[in-house]
């Protein structure tokens, strides 16, 4: 892929192509390299992504917006964007870095993407850099679920399983395809307890694991409604039994209380009759004269 193709993907044609070439030059290759451009691009990227989140999520507070931004500009996120752009094919690396596979290293690719943003800023100003970042990030931000606060799929799957006291998933690389500079990994995510096995693919093992975890989480959540209905049915039955027992107990208690009240009433009446004086004995005496 040529630099013309890369510029087309970015949506920006450089007036000074040497800036783009510098952005693609790692320090191991010599001077000038992309470190200063990376510094500049990092600041521009953070500013633009923050503004995009502010506009897109109008009801989220500052803390959650910060967490979302941190997730979107972290190394792994930058690396995945760099992979989609095919930056590894354009990197200028020193011989040692090249032999050690530096063109696949997430830190190098993420830094290169930031350097490109810095190069666009110097080439055409803030609005041009904003447009490039928008092209790269708008599709991503549209898929962000603010309820997850930017957590990745593996973290969400782990929390989902732990919340249900289920064993954690098992990840395994099952295949790799392609040339060294553009490999595709296939990873299986298995949750034996739920009989779930999902394959995910990506330009790195980590990306493939994330894809597999995303599929496994969706599969696990799809099983949840039926289990939820069963749980609700059991709970409803238990509640009905408990209610019936409370009613029966209440009726027995009421009968006992009625019996006790009747017995107390009888005793009281008996006591009252025993204490009342005999009328004949109380009548005044009469003397009979012959």
Residue 90, C-beta contacts closer than 8 angstroms, at least 6 positions apart? 1, 3, 6, 24
Tokens at residue 276, please? 């009342």
Nearest to 78 by CA among 112, 49, 38, 35: 112
Give yes or no: 266 in active site: no
Candidate list 114, 152, 186, 209, residue with the active-site label: 114
What is the distance between the alpha carbons of residues 197 and 190, in angstroms, rounded to a whole number? 4
Residue 158 region by backbone torsions, left for phi larger than 0, else alpha for psi between -120 and 50, else beta: alpha
Give yes or no: 111 in active site: no
What is the distance between the alpha carbons of residues 51 and 34, in angstroms, rounded to a whole number? 25
Would you state the torsion angle of the CA atoms of residues 160, 166, 172, 174, taken in this order, to the nearest 10 degrees?
A: -90
Candidate list 38, 42, 111, 209, residue with the active-site label: 42
The bridge status of strand 196-202 relative to strand 170-177 is: unpaired
Q: Which residues pair with 53 in a beta bridge?
A: none
Helix axes 106-124, 126-141, angle to 10 degrees: 140
What is the distance between the alpha carbons of residues 250 and 37, in angstroms, rounded to a whole number? 79
Residue 172, C-beta contacts closer than 8 angstroms, at least 6 positions apart? 187, 188, 190
What are the catalytic residues? 42, 114
């Amino acid at each position: 892929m040529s630099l013309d193709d890369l510029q087309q993907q970015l949506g920006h044609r450089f007036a000074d192509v040497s800036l783009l070439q510098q952005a693609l030059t790692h320090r191991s290759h010599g001077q000038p390299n992309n470190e200063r451009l990376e510094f500049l691009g990092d600041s521009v990227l953070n500013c633009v992504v923050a503004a995009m989140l502010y506009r897109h999520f109008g009801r989220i507070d500052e803390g959650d917006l910060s967490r979302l931004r941190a997730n979107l500009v972290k190394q792994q996120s930058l690396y995945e964007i760099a992979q989609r752009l095919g930056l590894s094919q354009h990197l200028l690396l020193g011989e040692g870095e090249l032999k050690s596979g530096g063109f696949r290293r997430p830190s190098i690719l993420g830094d290169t993407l930031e350097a490109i943003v810095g190069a666009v800023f110097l080439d055409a100003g803030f609005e041009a850099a904003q447009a490039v970042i928008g092209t790269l990030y708008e599709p991503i931000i549209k898929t962000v679920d603010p309820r997850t606060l930017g957590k990745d799929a593996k973290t969400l799957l782990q929390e989902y399983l732990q919340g249900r006291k289920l064993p954690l998933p098992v990840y395994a690389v099952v295949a790799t395809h392609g040339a060294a500079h553009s490999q595709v990994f296939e990873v299986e995510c298995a949750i034996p307890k739920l009989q779930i096995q999902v394959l995910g693919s990506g330009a790195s093992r980590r990306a493939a694991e994330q894809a597999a975890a995303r599929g496994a989480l969706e599969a696990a959540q799809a099983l949840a409604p039926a289990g939820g209905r069963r749980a609700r049915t059991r709970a409803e039955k238990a509640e009905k039994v408990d209610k019936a027992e409370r009613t029966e107990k209440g009726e027995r208690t009421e009968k006992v209380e009625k019996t006790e009240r009747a017995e107390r009433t009888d005793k009281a009446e008996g006591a009252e009759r025993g204490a009342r004086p005999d009328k004949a004995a109380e009548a005044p005496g009469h003397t009979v004269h012959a």
